[in-house]
């Protein structure tokens, strides 16, 4: 489906996400498990804050001199005998890839997990080609493909919303007759995928980092599927976002260390590979090597307050600490890029009309900023998006905007503010209901609660308690005034 993964309105997506109890539990478990693994791995490395600064300095330098690094990289790919295509749009990239497959007379395409190729929606384009098969080979992506191309819900664990029984049902359609043990199902997938790998003539991979000074690409996987995709097929097509470069292997090694610890708490990803066009004398690896470098609106972030989002290395750590992601999951965002990074990146790539709600899908707790291995100030960027939408683009319309204007007027006028305080109890009385008084709520609100509150108040009362405000005579300000008049202690 490309960058936008749902046509449903934001509120409907959230409501759907709230119903999925398994996904809720699974995400909570993943976040809790990954917290321990990630923090232990970082602590064991030591000097984590200085490592983050090191990673940030590499990424910021590359972005600052991006045209030069891209030129150096493409020159070196060419020197090795490869080809580079610069694509401004997803259509340009897709057309080029489809042409390569046609020219190479390719029939069997194997893919390793790649966010950028999902951005292209290349799978659907390949499905439309006669005599061409396409297979996602990452286990999670394979599961999603076989479940009628279900959308991913996490950057690192795309099928986190699926349970073992669902996977078993999906695999049964392929001839699996075993139980729901993940190890047994993984063995089945291994056998199934192996045959398809061996007949593949085109391998499509992503790229964790492109090495500017050598023309090699750096791929990190735990399954090894990217290594099979770049070893067996005669042709390899690499698709990368234009910002995914490092100056040399030396900096790639640093980024790989940050990535593995931040993504899943590993010291290194199981397979860290630096590879490119086949060298003389070698018999496997790509004889024909193509790199597609995609802009797709990334350049809109350059030279703006959002430039730092291009530092992202797609570790997914910000998802794994986000309280909003924990509640609404990946599908709630409706973007290929969920979580805090997605809430910042999606409006840049797809525009505010499509993804304008996402910067508001945050509590601004800054846990994402605290965990980011390359020091992207994610929560500040979300605030900047909100500023753009409200102040620059004037996108806030309708009843919410009206309410905010009323609140703005009311709180900026002492008279109006005092009037609001005086009549708050009476004004909210239509929505006030008495709950049984208990030992725990007696001193808090005496049992009077606002339920199904009006307008924006409803957003709060739908999910949280809101005690009824006290009558004017019981108000703290009134009490304080009387207390002071009676000579009471005020300090």
Q: Is 259 in the site for another protein (CB under 8 A)?
A: no
In whole angstroms, the minimum distance from the beta carbon of 101 to another protein comes to 16
Question: Cβ closer to another protein: 57 or 432?
Answer: 57
Number of residues that bind another protein (CB under 8 A): 112
* 105 binds another protein, rule: CB under 8 A: no
Residue 76 as a binder of another protein (CB under 8 A): the answer is no
Residues numbered 294 to 353 that lie near another protein (CB under 8 A) are 295, 299-300, 302-303
Rounded Cα distance, 431 and 451, in Å: 6
From 2-10, 250-258, 313-321, 411-419, span contacting another protein (CB under 8 A):
250-258
Residue 47 or 483: which CB sits closer to another protein? 47
Cα angle, residue 109 at apex, residues 103 and 113 outer, rounded to 5°: 125
Q: What is the 3-state secondary structure (H, E, C) of 103-124?
A: HCCCCEEEECCCHHHHHHCHHH
Q: Considering only CA atoms, which of 448, 443, 491, 438 is closest in space to residue 470?
A: 448
Among 18, 20, 129, 247, binds another protein (CB under 8 A): 247
- Which one of residues 50, 131, 148, 489 is an interface residue with another protein (CB under 8 A)? 50
| Position among 134, 135, 143, 240 found at the interface with another protein (CB under 8 A) | 143
Q: Which is nearer to another protein, 123 or 227 (CB)?
A: 227
Report the C-alpha gap between 199 and 193 in whole angstroms: 10
Which is nearer to another protein, 64 or 400 (by Cβ)? 64
Among 6, 133, 163, 451, binds another protein (CB under 8 A): 163
Please say which residue, 5 or 221, places its beta carbon nearer to another protein.
221
Residue from 167, 259, 313, 361 binding another protein (CB under 8 A): 167
Site for another protein, residues 175 to 204, rule: CB under 8 A: 182-183, 185-187, 189-190, 193-194, 197-198
Residues 410-429 that bind another protein (CB under 8 A): none
Site stretch for another protein (CB under 8 A), options 41-49, 357-365, 435-443, 479-487: 41-49
Residue 275 within binding range of another protein, rule CB under 8 A: yes
- Give CA–CA dist 430/432, Å, rounded: 6
Q: How far apart are CA 20 and CA 336, in angstroms?
A: 19
Residue 228 or 449: the one with the smaller Cβ distance to another protein is: 228
The yes or no reply on residue 149 touching another protein (CB under 8 A) is no
Nearest to 119 by CA among 83, 145, 89: 89
φ/ψ bin of 324: left (φ > 0), alpha (ψ from -120 to 50), beta (otherwise)? alpha
Q: Give the nearer residue to another protein in terms of CB position, either 81 or 458.
A: 81
Which CB, 218 or 468, lies closer to another protein?
218
Angle at 168 between CA 164 and CA 172, to 5 degrees: 170
CB proximity list for 317: less than 8 A, separation 6 or greater: 38, 262, 263, 371, 372, 373
Q: Which helix (H) or strand (E) holds 202?
A: strand 202-205
* Binder of another protein out of 3, 38, 85, 108 (CB under 8 A): 85
Please return the burial class of 183, using the count of CB atoms within 10 Å of its CB with bins 0-12, 13-18 and 19+. exposed
Pick out residues in 210-239 that bind another protein (CB under 8 A).
214, 216, 222-225, 227-228, 230-232, 234
State which of residues 5, 13, 23, 26 lies at the interface with another protein (CB under 8 A): 26
Minimum CB distance to another protein, residue 128 (Å): 24
What is the secondary structure of 435-471 as a DSSP string?
A: ----TTTHHHHTTEEE-S-SHHHHHHHTTS--BPPPP
Residue choice 146, 150, 151, 256 for contact with another protein (CB under 8 A): 256
How far is the C-alpha of 250 from the C-alpha of 230, rounded, in Å?
A: 22
Q: Quick one: which of 95, 121, 147, 253 contacts another protein (CB under 8 A)?
A: 253
Q: Report the length, in residues, of the chain.
A: 491
The residue (of 255 and 361) whose beta carbon lies closer to another protein is: 255
CB of 281 or CB of 436, closer to another protein: 281
Token pair listed for 65: 């001199």
Handedness of CA 432, 436, 440, 442 (dihedral sign): positive
Q: Tell the smallest beta-carbon distance from residue 388 to another protein (Å).
A: 17
Confirm or reject binding of residue 58 to another protein (CB under 8 A): yes
Backbone angles phi, psi at 245, to 5 degrees: -120, 160
- Do the Cβ atoms of 295 and 92 come closer than 8 Å? no
Shortest Cβ 185–another protein spacing (Å): 6
In a 10 Å sphere around its CB, with 0-12 CB exposed, 13-18 middle and 19+ buried, how is residue 37 labelled?
A: middle
Q: How far is CA 423 from the centre of its chain?
A: 44
99 binding another protein? (CB under 8 A)? no
Q: Which of 64, 127, 390, 400 binds another protein (CB under 8 A)?
A: 64
């Amino acid at each position: 489906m490309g960058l936008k993964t749902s046509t449903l309105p934001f509120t409907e997506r959230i409501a759907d996400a709230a119903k999925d109890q398994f996904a809720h539990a699974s995400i909570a478990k993943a976040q809790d498990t990954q917290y321990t693994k990630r923090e232990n791995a970082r602590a064991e490395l030591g000097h984590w804050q200085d490592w983050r600064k090191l990673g940030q300095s590499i990424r910021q330098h590359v972005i600052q001199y991006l045209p030069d690094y891209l030129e150096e990289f493409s020159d070196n790919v060419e020197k090795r005998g490869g080809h580079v295509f610069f694509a401004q749009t997803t259509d340009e990239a897709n057309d080029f890839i489809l042409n390569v497959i046609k020219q190479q007379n390719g029939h069997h395409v194997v893919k390793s997990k790649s966010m950028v190729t999902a951005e292209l929606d290349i799978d659907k384009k390949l499905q439309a080609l006669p005599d061409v098969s396409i297979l996602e080979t990452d286990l999670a992506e394979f599961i999603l493909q076989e479940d009628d191309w279900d959308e991913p819900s996490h950057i690192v664990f795309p099928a986190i919303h699926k349970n073992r029984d669902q996977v078993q049902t999906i695999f049964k359609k392929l001839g699996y007759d075993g139980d729901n043990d993940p190890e047994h199902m993984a063995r089945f997938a291994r056998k199934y995928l192996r045959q398809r790998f061996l007949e593949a003539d085109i391998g499509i991979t992503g790229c964790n980092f492109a090495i500017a000074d050598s023309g090699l690409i750096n791929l990190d996987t735990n399954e090894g599927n990217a290594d099979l995709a770049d070893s067996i097929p005669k042709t390899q097509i690499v698709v990368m976002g234009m910002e995914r470069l490092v100056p040399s292997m030396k900096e790639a090694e640093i980024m790989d260390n940050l990535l593995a610890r931040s993504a899943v708490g590993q010291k290194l990803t199981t397979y860290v590979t630096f590879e490119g066009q086949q060298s003389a004398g070698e018999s496997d690896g790509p004889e024909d090597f193509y790199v597609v470098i995609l802009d797709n609106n990334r350049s809109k972030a350059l030279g703006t307050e959002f430039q730092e989002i291009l530092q992202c290395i797609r570790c997914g750590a910000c998802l794994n600490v986000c309280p909003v992601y924990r509640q609404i999951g990946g599908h709630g965002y409706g973007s290929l890029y969920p979580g805090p990074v997605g809430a910042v990146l999606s409006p840049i790539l797809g525009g505010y009309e499509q993804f304008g709600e996402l910067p508001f899908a945050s509590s601004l707790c800054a846990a994402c900023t605290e965990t980011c291995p390359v020091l992207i100030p994610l929560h500040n960027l979300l605030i900047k998006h909100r500023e753009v939408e409200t102040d620059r683009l004037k996108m806030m319309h309708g009843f919410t905007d009206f309410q905010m204007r009323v609140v703005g007027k009311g709180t900026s006028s002492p008279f109006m503010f005092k009037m609001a305080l005086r009549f708050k109890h009476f004004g909210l009385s239509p929505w006030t209901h008495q709950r049984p008084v208990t030992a725990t709520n007696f001193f808090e609100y005496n049992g009077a609660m606002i339920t199904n509150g009006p307008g924006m108040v409803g957003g709060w009362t739908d999910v949280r308690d809101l005690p009824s405000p006290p009558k004017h005579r019981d108000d703290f300000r009134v009490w304080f005034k009387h207390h002071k008049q009676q000579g009471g202690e005020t300090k």
